[in-house]
Amino acid sequence: MATPVLPAPADAAFAAACLDAGQPVPGFIRCPAGERPERRFSVYRNNVVASLIGALEAKYPAVAAIVGDEFFRATARLFIAAHPPRGPVMARFGGPFADFLAGFPPAAGLPYLPDVARLEALVLEAFHAADALPLAHDHLPALASGAIALRRHPAAFLLRSQWPVLTLWRMNTGHVELAAVEDWSGQEILVARPGLEVSAVLLPPGAAAFLETLEVGPAAAAAAALDVPGADLSLILAALAQAGAFCAPEVQP
């Protein structure tokens, strides 16, 4: 028995009319006498669009809080039309939202918005990332002696922003009170999930450079960190370790 390779015209017409409310209801649709096909078909149209808007809202709550419900929904509709989901795992839907916002003229007055979306995408990525034990305090002597190597934790992600996006994200997700932002300097942020809870913390100078270069080796990472003005290597290591940026060693020392 061969599986047909192409979807039938019926499914194609149904899907197209679902995604575009401007299209007429396909002629093969039937409903009870006296009923308008548009009314019945709109249930599918609403389900598709409302469920996808809901999925975006769940993934980007701070963006939604910043721009407000009406703006968010209108933006989400346009985003969905341009970047519909390519598979059934909703956690993977909406990846290009930050880039979409960056090129979305109505949001141009909020230049930090794309980075807020990037931070929210990393929070969800950390939430679902692979589990691993984080580096613990009692690993530190072995680390200092070179007996174990530093490895980045699989649920640890960096974001460098020229905006104070961690502050904006905290204020718009209920972590801290809304207030006027005094300091508009950029922030380097670590999103991590050493256990089951995701956290996002501000990193000291040089920590992002250290983590980004860690793959090359510890000496290169230290050198990259120390290139950054104000970097203090012991402070960097302590901050990264405490935030859950590193894995426990594979073999216990």
List residues binding another protein (CB under 8 A). 1, 3-8, 10-12, 14-16, 18-19, 27-32, 34-37, 39-41, 43-44, 47-48, 51-52, 55, 84-91, 126-131, 154-155, 193, 196-197
Residue whose CB is less far from another protein, 35 or 99: 35
Smallest distance from another protein to CB 135, Å: 17
Q: How far apart are CA 160 and CA 96, in angstroms?
A: 18
Smallest distance from another protein to CB 124, Å: 9
Smallest distance from another protein to CB 105, Å: 25
Residue whose CB is less far from another protein, 133 or 144: 133
Residue whose CB is less far from another protein, 71 or 127: 127
> Residue 86: helix, strand or coil by DSSP?
coil
Smallest distance from another protein to CB 73, Å: 16
DSSP codes, 129-160: SPP-PBP-GGGHHHHHTTSS---B-TT-EEEE
Q: How far apart are CA 99 and CA 126, in angstroms?
A: 20
Q: How far apart are CA 214 and CA 210, in angstroms?
A: 6
Residue whose CB is less far from another protein, 40 or 73: 40
The tokens describing 105, both together, are 């003229």
Q: How far apart are CA 59 and CA 123, in angstroms?
A: 9
